[in-house]
């Protein structure tokens, strides 16, 4: 691949935004102002779809070892365990996501304490009219590319809950810069691990992940679907050993991808080894993407950076413009958002 290929097919220059992710993340974190202090929370409910939904998955992973119950809502209504004591976080990068706006209204009817994030739209109007804590953040290129521009301010605003301080962020930003050196458009060589993975992937990849890295796996699936226009299968590593693994008894053109952590649980490491042995005996080639030994926050964001860029490179290899999502536009064309 050459730079001219990126420039030819990536019409809206998505790759340029990814090249700037570390700077976008740093600037968005530093310029964010916190309106209120959020702490002593026992239950958080996070609403969002698509790229906005990934932010909820990310926060859930960070809180997985804390004594806070997290509910992820990707739909119109809130579950019955959401009540007045719940901190409701609603995220719609566009500000006009029908499902999230419906959940926001439901939360207000229940009486939840609410924080909202969007680039404007109907969400801003609704929150302004009801004096809901609202943070307006810029959308860059598309909702999915805007991930870090929303994530880092959210981390700052929820610092007391997430327990990620400025030093943690600084360290992670430095690691992002290191990742960028390898995967950016200025290094289209065989050493670029995102490009190498993109060249290896064939339809339909099967992504295996441990529970702690679910957010990165779901994000990778979504990015391949939206950017590369590919069918993708996600499998929880442990659960798949009780069902999904059987599908490999049939001849398939699919290839397994392992998203691993260097410090995975010891039993998870054993399961990876067994799975690799199985695939080798079946002569099925696989790829391993291994995170660095670091905090879950740093692991996830660096994995997402590599895997997002992989999906862009795959789109270019397929001679596809990664930005348009005509199928989503088709679906949205058949319903109109009812004002709330």
- Structural domains of the chain, with CATH: 32-164 (3.40.50.10490), 172-317 (3.40.50.10490)
8 Å CB contact between 171 and 45: no
DSSP state of 254: -
Residues forming a β-bridge with 116: 90, 134
Instruction: Supply the pLDDT for residue 224.
Output: 97
Q: Is the pLDDT of residue 75 over 70?
A: yes
Instruction: Supply the pLDDT for residue 292.
Output: 80
Task: Determine which of 9-23, 196-210, 324-338 has the lowest per-residue pLDDT on average.
Answer: 324-338
Summarised one tens digit per residue, pLDDT across range 119-161 is 999 999 999 999 999 999 988 988 899 999 999 998 888 888 8
Q: Is the pLDDT of residue 312 over 60?
A: yes
Give CA–CA dist 253/275, Å, rounded.
18
- pTM score > 0.75 for this model? yes
Quick one: pLDDT band at residue 68, thresholds 50, 70, 90?
Answer: confident
Which of 33, 29, 154, 41 has the alpha carbon at shortest distance from 91? 154
Quick one: pLDDT band at residue 336, thresholds 50, 70, 90?
Answer: low
* CA-based max dimension of the chain: 62
Crossing angle of the two packed helices 296-317 and 193-200, in degrees rounded to 10? 50
Quick one: pLDDT band at residue 9, thresholds 50, 70, 90?
Answer: very high
HEC readout, 136-189: ECCCCCCCCCCHHHHHHHHHHHCHHHHCCCHHHHHHHHHHHHHHHHHHCCCCCC
140 or 40: which carries more pLDDT confidence? 140
Residue 140: both structure tokens together = 């860059």
8 Å CB contact between 218 and 54: yes
Instruction: Supply the pLDDT for residue 333.
Output: 80
53 or 279: which carries more pLDDT confidence? 279
Instruction: Supply the pLDDT for residue 66.
Output: 78
Instruction: Supply the pLDDT for residue 179.
Output: 95
Quick one: pLDDT band at residue 230, thresholds 50, 70, 90?
Answer: very high
8 Å CB contact between 194 and 306: yes
Instruction: Supply the pLDDT for residue 22.
Output: 96
The torsion region of residue 44 among left (phi > 0), alpha (psi -120 to 50) and beta comes to: beta
| 3-state helix, strand and coil shares in percent for the chain, rounded to the nearest 5 | 50, 15, 35
Summarised one tens digit per residue, pLDDT across range 78-134 is 989 898 889 999 999 999 899 999 999 999 999 999 999 999 999 999 999 999 999
């Amino acid at each position: 691949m050459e730079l001219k290929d990126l420039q030819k097919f990536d019409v809206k220059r998505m790759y340029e935004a990814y090249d700037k992710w570390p700077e976008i993340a740093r600037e968005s974190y530093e310029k964010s102002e916190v309106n209120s202090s959020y702490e002593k929370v026992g239950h958080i409910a996070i609403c969002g779809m698509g790229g906005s939904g990934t932010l909820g998955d990310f926060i859930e992973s960070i809180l997985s070892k804390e004594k806070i119950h997290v509910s992820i809502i990707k739909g119109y209504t809130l579950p019955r365990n959401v009540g007045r004591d719940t901190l409701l976080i609603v995220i719609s990068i566009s500000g006009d996501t029908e499902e999230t706006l419906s959940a926001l209204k439901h939360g207000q009817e229940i009486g939840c304490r609410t924080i909202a994030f969007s680039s404007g739209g109907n969400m801003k109007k609704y929150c302004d009219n009801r004096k809901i804590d609202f943070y307006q953040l810029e959308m860059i290129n598309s909702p999915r590319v805007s991930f870090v521009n929303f994530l880092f301010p959210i981390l700052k605003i929820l610092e007391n809950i997430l327990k990620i301080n400025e030093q943690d962020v600084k360290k992670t930003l430095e690691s992002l810069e290191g990742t960028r050196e390898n995967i950016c458009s200025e290094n289209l060589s065989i050493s670029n691990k995102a490009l190498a993975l993109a060249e290896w992937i064939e339809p339909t990849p099967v992504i295996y992940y441990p529970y702690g890295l679910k957010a990165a796996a779901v994000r990778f699936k979504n990015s391949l679907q939206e950017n590369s226009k590919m069918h993708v299968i996600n499998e929880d590593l442990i659960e798949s050993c009780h069902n999904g693994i059987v599908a490999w008894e049939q001849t398939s053109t699919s290839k397994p991808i392992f998203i691993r952590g260097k410090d995975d649980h010891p039993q998870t490491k054993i399961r990876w080894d067994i799975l690799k042995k199985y695939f080798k005996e079946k002569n099925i080639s696989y790829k391993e993407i291994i995170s660095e030994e670091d905090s879950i926050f740093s692991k996830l964001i660096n994995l997402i950076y590599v895997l997002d860029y992989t999906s862009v490179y795959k789109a270019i290899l397929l001679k596809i413009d990664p930005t348009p999502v005509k199928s989503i536009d088709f679906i949205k064309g058949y319903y109109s958002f009812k004002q709330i």
